[in-house]
Amino acid sequence: MNGDWLIRGRDGRLGVYTTRDDSVWCRAERHPGGDWLPWRKVGGDQRLHPVLAVGRGADRYAHLVAWRPTTGDEAGLVHSTHFRAHLAALDWLPIGHPDKKGPRTGRPAVAVDADGRAYVFVGNRGKGVHTVNQKVRGGWNAWHDLKGSKVHEELVAVTGESGFVELYGTSPAGIVRWLQEEPGARPVMADPVPVRVEPGTLAALPTSKEHTTLFYADPEGMLYAWRPDGDPAALLAAAGPGPVSAVRCVLDGHDCTLLAQRSASGRVAFAAYPTERESAGLWWTESGPRLPAGSRVAVTEDAEGRVVAATLTPDGELRVARQKDEPGLALSAWQTV
């Protein structure tokens, strides 16, 4: 999975996405805050590789991107739009290959601009990055080489509060990034961030109209936050491997950034601090049952502005905990749904 696999749709329902049995599957709430409908397959019966990217626009439609096998050991990327998590998604439509043809080259990432156009990013055969984006009136533009060198395959795409699309990755040079400068334009490469970063730990969260905050761990396991207006800020030791899930939320009347991660003990660890005030300090608090290796953790806000945390095990067991009407981050008991 790449992107926010737990999302709130336009109608306020929460939905989750996962891959299994050569397909993409989705579950959604029956109504906002209610029980959950059964798993259903997304986008028809096409066979897919077990790699999925999810992006969500300001209209809260989900854009899904995956690889599918074509001929021999070759593959191509496909795209589908999901307007409501409880409804059937559009069929998968082919959008091509960064090298025109060949085997799959990396994990795709997708972001959606302020006008609802999807931008798909994926590593190419030469360890650079290619992109393709939707046209205003339907269809797709041609693939475009964004350049780059020795870029790790795990890319992070996000849409800033400005509505512009941003792309981040890691390489021996540190964090590499591409930023959109005007509506409809392709992102262009910006100066890299020369930091020591462990591949596979990068996450991004828009934290103001001006800035997106990047979170990453160094090879020793220290978690950092970085924005273009300053130096990296050491936060605390990462609770476990992989990237954190992050969301902005209101806690006790304050704009806060909440981080969640599967800890080394297997439980979910939470840490929060005032948004863009890393110097205030933060610490991990663990919650819920121990989860098996490979479990995913996500946090978002529901239609009423309450924090919702979800975990998904490799065998598809979904658990959810919701913020209670109490001071601080008090969560209800974790429920298997």
Q: Is residue 52 part of a domain?
A: yes
- HSE-CB for 161 with a 13 A CA cutoff: 10
Residue 180 placed within a domain: yes
* pLDDT tens figures, 51-98: 999 999 888 899 999 999 999 999 999 999 998 776 777 889 999 999
26: containing domain: 2-194
Distances (CA, A) of 135 to 115, 139, 140, 143, 157: 10, 6, 5, 12, 18
Predicted pLDDT at 279? 96
Predicted confidence (pLDDT) at residue 108 exceeds the cutoff of 80:
yes
Looking at residue 203, its pLDDT comes to 98
In a domain, 82, yes or no: yes
309 assigned to some structural domain: no
Kindly report the pTM of this predicted structure.
0.95
Per DSSP, the three-state class of 307 is strand
CB 190 within 8 A of CB 226: no
% of the chain with per-residue pLDDT over 70? 99
Give the model's confidence band at 42: pLDDT under 50 very low, under 70 low, under 90 confident, else very high.
confident
Q: What share of the chain is helix, strand, coil (3-state, %, to 5)?
A: 0, 45, 50
- Tokens representing 212? 């997106």
pLDDT in tens, 252-298: 999 999 999 999 999 999 999 999 999 999 999 999 999 999 999 99
Q: Is residue 148 part of a domain?
A: yes
pLDDT digits (tens, 9 = 90+) for 133-145: 999 888 999 999 9
**Domain-located, residue 300:** no
**98, part of any domain:** yes
**Total domains present in the chain:** 1
CATH number at residue 164: 2.120.10.70
Q: Is residue 274 part of a domain?
A: no
| Distance between CA atoms of residues 54 and 17, nearest Å | 8
